[in-house]
Amino acid sequence: MTQSHSIAVYPGTFDPITNGHLDVLTRAMGIFHRVIVTIAPNIRKNPLFSTDERMQFIRDALPEYASRLEFAVFEGLLVEFCRSRKASVIVRGLRALADFEYEFQFAHMNRRLAPGVDTVFFMTDERNHYVSSSLVKEVASLGGDVTGLVPAAVVTALAAKFKIKPSITLAVTAKAAKLKAAGIDVISFGAGEPDFDTPAHIKAAVHAALDQPGIGKYTDVTGILPLRKAIAAELSAVHHVAIEPDQVLVSTGAKHSLYNLFMALLDPGDEVLIPAPYWVSYPDMVMLAGGRPVILETRAENDFAVTPAQVREACTGRTRGIVLNNPSNPTGAVYARKQVEALAEVAVEKDLLVFSDDIYRQLVYGDAAYHSIAAIGPDIARRTILVDGASKTYAMTGWRIGYTAAPLPLIKAMTKIQGQSTSNPSHISQVAALAALTGPQDCVAEMRRAFNERRLTMVKLLRAIPGVACREPKGAFYAFPDVSAYLGKKSPEGHILDDDVKLCDWLVEVGKVAVVPGSGFGAPGFVRLSYACSMQDIEVGVGRLGKALAQLS
């Protein structure tokens, strides 16, 4: 092989790379001095993986060739690309007979266009003769095992792509709403939103702002400065840390904040520890960002708190951090100070970040208190990312304002993602959030008082249902009873309700009461009921639940 043959181009879509591709590439690396893998973005075919992800899979699979393997994204005429890179060989893989006709034409056409560029075909190992990216994707999408056909990282990534589920809470709420719209009297405990109206002074501030010039324009991607200042001041006071307005990113709800966070932080295969029961979206968001959720089961007897020993045991070289949702959706558990301290200690010891989702921090009842993990000390404060928002505290779910406070480099990375996706959150909603944060706070105390009364009533009524065990939720606005005693029973219509999803389906359709199955939160056998609804709904709805369950045999 002369020096002029030493640069080869291996073009393809590689969505994703298969072991067949890797076989061809390895053989090519044995002959050519340098191989440029040229990835077609393939936008029209709606690719499953981004070009960056596709390149990374190849890099990770062949680390031994790192210095001789190059990558390019290219969609034009291949021979032009070869010329521009002084490559004189095109590498192709020949798998099956069916490939031949096209490859034959492709090679001849390229020779006509560029006589100096030769096409060299490699045949894969016979185990990979039939393997194609599209077949692998199809099999994975149907739940088939593709181990051995693609690198292990691709197996994980495919599983993640095809496992993203729609939010179960939104699904239950939508089902109840549909039945209601059809005139059926359903009581829904599904929604995670206060039934109160957004407080009047917040609406008044919005009314006033609507007459101001400049309202309704794009704002800074990170949010308007007065709002970021107010958030920085509030979070600094609550968490006993000094947060600058530049360290705050305002997003379209706390959900968006968390999404930006995982997208900015996680590399493919990075692990995030998520104590279960968890808020439905955490695992899926981690997977959307290419990460791997690692679920840590907790026990009702321990008030659903994750233990430091569990965290220690679950840590690997890929663990980036742990989600701490305090108070918790769905359990209503509030971490005691000692538990927060113990978690802080293990997070520092294991060099973990803490993703502190404090969206319910102002909704804490009785003698429970919210304890900030960031406030424990500077070591843990440095590694804590604060996620908070206006939705739950101020009955502002639909305004969609959430925020993150984090070290500046992370905020900058998240801002880039937000800037290329949604830009600033709605301007008028930012005005509303500013009024919420800086205005009178008695509305929060009033809502808290009402939630507390409803909480006590709901728990009392749930505990009165035979076979239902309900721990006292100390925060947020959910009760999370154990209904496993009813699983496997038969409905009067003759159906065996052997899991909580079937039970909840039957409850809404026959019992006319909507509750969310615990399996959506990683806790099969439990159901979640929101008490952010009227006292009358609680009394009638839990009554319906009891009556429906009593019909199961």
In the complex with ligand PLP, the residue whose CB is nearer, 11 or 253, is 253
CB-based contact 260:404 (threshold 8 Å)? yes
Residues that bind ligand PLP (CB under 6 A): 192, 253-255, 279, 325, 329, 357, 359, 389, 391, 397, 402
CB of 307 to ligand PLP, least distance (A): 21
Contact present, 346 and 378 (Cβ < 8 Å): no
Least spacing, CB of residue 253 vs ligand PLP, in Å:
3
Write down the least CB distance from residue 232 to ligand PLP, Å: 18
CB closer to ligand PLP out of 275 and 290: 275
Long-range pairs for 131-138 at CB < 8 Å and ≥24 separation?
Answer: 131/18, 131/19, 131/20, 131/95, 132/18, 132/20, 132/95, 133/13, 133/14, 133/15, 133/16, 133/17, 133/18, 133/21, 136/16, 136/18, 137/15, 137/16, 137/48
Considering the candidates 4, 33, 45, 84, report the single residue annotated as catalytic. Answer: 45
Instruction: Please indicate whether residue 299 is annotated as part of the active site.
Output: no
The residues, ordered by sequence, that sit 6+ positions from 16 with a Cβ below 8 Å of its Cβ are: 48, 49, 53, 54, 57, 133, 136, 137, 150, 154, 157, 158
User: Smallest distance, Å, CB 415 to ligand PLP?
Assistant: 18
Of 54, 88, 92, 133, the catalytic one is: 133
Residue nearest to ligand PLP (CB): 253
Strands (E), 100-218: 118-123, 187-188
Identify which of residues 205 and 254 has a Cβ nearer to ligand PLP in the complex.
254
Question: Backbone phi, then psi, for 375, in 5-degree steps?
Answer: -75, -10
Cβ atoms of residues 269 and 292 within 8 Å: yes
Place of tokens 């979640």: 528
Q: How far is the CB of 277 from ligand PLP (least distance, A)?
A: 11
165 is catalytic: no
Annotation says 133 is catalytic: yes
Return the closest-CA partner of residue 258 out of 161, 372, 403: 403
- If you ran DSSP here, which 8-state letter would residue 124 be given? P
Please state the closest distance from residue 391 (CB atom) to ligand PLP, in A: 4
What is 224-266 written as a DSSP string?
-HHHHHHHHHHHHHHHTS---GGGEEEESSHHHHHHHHHHHHP
371 is catalytic: no
Q: 92, 95, 455, 512: which is the annotated catalytic residue? A: 95
Q: How far is the CB of 482 from ligand PLP (least distance, A)?
A: 20
Q: Please, are residues 239 and 268 in contact by the beta-carbon 8 Å criterion?
A: no
Which residues are tagged catalytic?
Answer: 21, 45, 95, 133
